Every structure is written in C-alpha cells, then in structure tokens.
Amino acid sequence: MKTIGLVGGTGWISSAEYYRIINEETNRREGGLVSARCILYSLNYGDIDNFNRLQDKDGVFRLILDASEKLIQSGADCIILCANTLHQFVDRLLNKIDVPVIHIAQSTAVEIRRQGMNTVGLLGTQQTMEMDFYKSVLKDNNIEVLVPEPDDRVFIQNTISDQLLKGIFSEESRLRFIEICQDLRMKGAGGIVLGCTEIPLLLKQPDINIPLFNTLVIHARAAVDFALKQ
C-alpha cells in the first residue's frame, strides 16, 4: 500500500471528510482492520485568505509547495490537494516535486464520462467557475461546462467564504443552491459538478433531480485507487 499525502486545511471541515472517506474506502476494499496509510498537512486557511485578498498567487503557491515537500519528506507517494481551487497550481507544483498529484478535475471527468454525460453545470469558488484551469480539463474530456450567472457566482463564493468554511450550513443557502442547480438544468446541464469540497456538505443528491458529482468523494476514491494499485 502506498502512502497518500494530503494538503488539507482548505478548509479543515472538508479535510476531515477526506480522512474519513479514504479510510472507510480502504477498509471496504481490503477488509479486516485495514486502514489507509496517509499523512495530512493542514494549512492555516487564514494564510491562504490573506494572500487571496492581496491577489498574491505566488504566496498561495509557496504554501502549497512547502506543504507538499514536507509530506514527501515524510514518505508520501502522491499528493492530494484537498480543494478544487488549489488545482490551478498543479502544473507549477509538478515542476517542483517528483511524485504524482492526483487531479480532482481529471478524476471527476472520468466519472462524468463513465455516466455517459457530456454537459454539466459547475459550482465552486469564483476562481474555479471563472478561470480556465478546471473547465479546460473537463473540456479536454469532451465535456461541455455551464456556469451560473454572475450574481449567482458571487452568492456561491460568499456562501463558501462566510458560511461553509466555518461549518455553517443554512437552509436558506441550501435552497438557493438548489435554485441555481435547477437553472443550470434548464440550460442543458445533465449533472452538476460540486466543484468545491465544502459544497457536498450542504447540498445532497436527494435535493436535486439530476446527478450531483461529489468531487470530494470522487477525489478520495481516486487516492485509494492509487494507494492500492499493485
């Protein structure tokens, strides 16, 4: 079994879910008392937030690189970035480290194609919804991506920052997310990518009448695939 290196704390609530799911999935596959070999480096999200406010992407990258290097020094055989938005730095990171980074968007694209879908809506931070680093991976897999209207993107970003990262999951926000998903469905989305690892803690499959792609679960299972591959 290989050792999974988790760059977490982005935020810590979803990182705890990664740890739980990776261990549960490893035990489901291997049985007995088997659990995952994994190392978690939990960043202070306040540091990332400060760099984001200054629009200092190099500062964010330095935090990720430092965490990844420490995980590798501790024996990690791969890196998992426990946030969709951080995947904008994957190419830079791969130029600096010598272990694989399991890409959350690529893992999600495989699942979308497995379900025979070619058009999805994407929810996430404004960076994830508006920049190309995430959508391009889906498009490279022949998946068309629809994003919410500008006002809805601002609402989603504010909800993530002001509520979800603090463990606040309100009914009002859940209902608004459902409305946004239904709008994307009406525009042609066959499913919705929950492209922020906190969103699946608010929005569940029974809430929506089209498939939800829980990127946290998909990514955690991809990590287990890597760790257990012979």
Instruction: Tell me the pLDDT tens digit for each residue of 137-169.
Output: 999 999 999 999 999 999 999 999 999 999 999
Are 96 and 161 members of one domain? no
pLDDT tens for each residue of 207-228: 999 999 999 999 999 999 999 9
Query: How big is the chain by its Cα radius of gyration, in Å?
Result: 17
Check residue 230 and give its pLDDT: 72
Same domain, 124 and 74: no
Domain match, 198 and 151 both: yes
Taking a C-beta distance cutoff of 8 angstroms, is the pair 216, 21 a contact?
Answer: yes
70 & 164 share domain: no
Same domain, 120 and 138: yes
Across 168-184, average pLDDT: 97
Do 207 and 122 fall into the same domain? yes
Number of domains in the chain: 2
169: domain CATH number?
Answer: 3.40.50.1860
Indicate if the pLDDT at residue 79 is higher than 90. yes
Q: Do 210 and 136 share a domain, yes or no?
A: yes
pLDDT of residue 115: 95
Residue 230, both tokens: 């012979």
What is the predicted pLDDT for the residue at 5?
98
Give me the pLDDT at residue 42, please: 97
**Are residues 65 and 110 located together in one domain of the fold?**
no
| Domain range enclosing 78 | 4-103+218-228
Helix (H, G, I), strand (E, B) or coil at 191: strand
Residue 99 shares a structural domain with residue 126:
no
Q: How large is the angle between the packed helices 171-186 and 150-162, nearest 10 degrees?
A: 150
Tell me the pTM: 0.95
pLDDT, residue 77, reads 98
Asked if the model's pLDDT at residue 33 lies above 90, the reply is yes
* Co-location of 109 and 188 in the same domain: yes
115 and 189 fall within a common domain = yes
The predicted pLDDT at position 101 comes to 98
Let me know whether 142 and 59 are in one domain. Answer: no
